Amino acid sequence: SGRSEYNLRSPICCIMGHVDTGKTKLLDCIRGTNVQEGEAGGITQQIGATYFPAENIRKRTKELKADANLKVPGLLVIDTPGHESFASLRSRGSGLCDMAILVVDIMHRLERQTVESLNLLKMRNTNFVIALNKVDRLYGWKACDNASIVKAMKQQSRDVQSEFRMRLTQVVTEFKEQGINTELYYKNRDMGKGTFSIVPASAISGEGIPDLLLLLVQWTAKTMAERLTYSNEVQCTVLEVKVVEGHGTTIDVILVNGVLRDGDQIVVCGMQGPIVTSIRSLLTPDAMKELRVKGSYEHHKEIKAVQGIKITAQGLEHAITGTSLYVVGPDDDMEGIKEAVKGDMRSVMSRVDKCGEGVYVQASTLGSLEALLEFLKTPEVNIPVSGIGIGNVHKKDVTIASVMLEKKKEYATILAFDVTIAHDAKELADKVGVKIYTADIIYHLFNQFKAYIDNLKE
């Protein structure tokens, strides 16, 4: 996947923005998939990754007659959730990327998490393009499937064009209020010198998608040659820790540089210390398929960066997301690597705070667990947490939660997000009086728990 005559690696692009602006739908439109409709409540609750090989981008941008300019092997796009409780995932995604797409709904303009995302990008000095999405919702829009936006705009009536200009002006003004200069991309002579480009688009009919793809690929290759120069030294980040049926606990990683091989000895950061293990299998979804969606996986003997990869190995149960994965080479000093991992860990553990009294929280992935903890900590919610777990709820989890029966009965509760409850765990919970709430949308858990607390108070 990683070859390029220019020895450049694929750029990593993060897609960010307020909830429901169409981030996942835009990716669906490019992939020809339907991930968004499979999401609980239509809301992204995990971070994902999709690899777009250069040949696909070439096809998609053909009408712009610019194929010769592709200098990178492809593009890896990281999808992030826009819902407010997933700030940690947005931060993780934006920390990994070379460039970003900030999605704005043309009907809603700048919203809370648009501004939050903008601030993350500013903080990290990450360049971005703005996708001004949902242009098909302009009254009277004439669909021009997958056309460049310049061509599509010419097909529109004067009324549509003037409504567009009016809304665009408002968006430009709101960005200005955030200290950001913006301009339609084909009029922007100042790109990279302080004026950010806006690409109007529709994730439903595909107008503007060719423009968006070409802009990303050309821009990164033109301005980031140094940053994108491929290096043999492994640079790899753990994106998610997940239990997958038939594979046990797996980690989803983004390989930014270097090569991973089947059987490599690796070290990752774990809750109880560095985890030393060997890669049992290296799996990727097919090209143009989302890593976070269960599907068929391709097995590899080795994979060259850039790629989103699922790794299976023993002992990954307590791996921590957002940390680095290290490969132990024949000449490497294992103790030195372990020390580096311990340093990473101290910063991560400070995010998961545990106090003596509180509910027990169980989630399907460490990423969603972090999101849930963050949500429970917000002033409006404010539910203390005494224990955490990843994966399905078992008897031992109920036993841990039952400790609260003696201290604070209302906290003898398991908030279980996107996991199943083992039959014997349910039985034990009923017997001893531990409440278990399950949901596949985070704030539904909170609503259930709140109703329970309100009930107790009456």
Residues that bind Mg ion (CB under 5 A): 23-24, 44
What does DSSP say about strands 413-417 and 435-439: parallel, antiparallel, or unpaired?
parallel
Q: How far is the CB of 111 from ligand GTP (least distance, A)?
A: 11
For residue 208, state whether it binds ligand GTP (rule: CB under 6 A).
no
- Given the rule CB under 5 A, which residues bind Na ion? 20, 42-43
For residue 49, state whether it binds ligand GTP (rule: CB under 6 A).
no
Yes or no: say if 309 and 253 are a contact pair by the CB < 8 Å rule.
yes
- Which neighbouring-strand residues pair with 254? 237, 308
Distance CA 385, CA 354 (A): 6
- Which neighbouring-strand residues pair with 128? 100
Q: How far is the CB of 82 from Mg ion (least distance, A)?
A: 6
Using CB under 6 A, which of 2, 11, 48, 81 touches ligand GTP?
Answer: 81
The stretch among 22-30, 281-289, 409-417, 426-434 that binds ligand GTP (CB under 6 A) is 22-30
What does DSSP say about strands 259-261 and 302-304: parallel, antiparallel, or unpaired?
antiparallel
Q: How far is the CB of 40 from ligand GTP (least distance, A)?
A: 10
The stretch among 1-9, 41-49, 276-284, 335-343 that binds ligand GTP (CB under 6 A) is 41-49
- Which neighbouring-strand residues pair with 300? 282
Using CB under 6 A, which of 50, 133, 277, 362 touches ligand GTP?
Answer: 133
Task: Choose between 33 and 413: whose C-beta lies nearer to ligand GTP.
Answer: 33
Distance CA 10, CA 213 (A): 13
Using CB under 6 A, which of 12, 13, 14, 23 touches ligand GTP?
Answer: 23
Distance CA 199, CA 101 (A): 10
The stretch among 19-27, 215-223, 271-279, 357-365 that binds ligand GTP (CB under 6 A) is 19-27
Q: How far is the CB of 82 from Na ion (least distance, A)?
A: 7
Using CB under 6 A, which of 14, 87, 99, 203 touches ligand GTP?
Answer: 203
Distance CA 184, CA 364 (A): 41
Distance CA 410, CA 456 (A): 8
What does DSSP say about strands 281-284 and 307-312: parallel, antiparallel, or unpaired?
antiparallel
Residue 133 binding partner per list Na ion, ligand GTP, Mg ion, none, with a CB distance cut-off of 5 to 8 Å that depends on partner kind? ligand GTP
For residue 25, state whether it binds ligand GTP (rule: CB under 6 A).
yes
Task: Choose between 102 and 184: whose C-beta lies nearer to ligand GTP.
Answer: 102
For residue 82, state whether it binds ligand GTP (rule: CB under 6 A).
yes
Yes or no: say if 370 and 238 are a contact pair by the CB < 8 Å rule.
no
Of 384, 452, 457, 449, the residue nearest 416 (C-alpha): 449
Q: How far is the CB of 370 from Na ion (least distance, A)?
A: 19
Which residues neighbour 369 within 8 Å (Cβ) at sequence distance 6 or greater?
361, 362, 363, 388, 390, 417
Provide the token pair at 343.
């340093």
Q: Rule CB under 6 A: which residues touch ligand GTP?
A: 17, 19-25, 36, 42-44, 81-83, 133-134, 136-137, 202-204
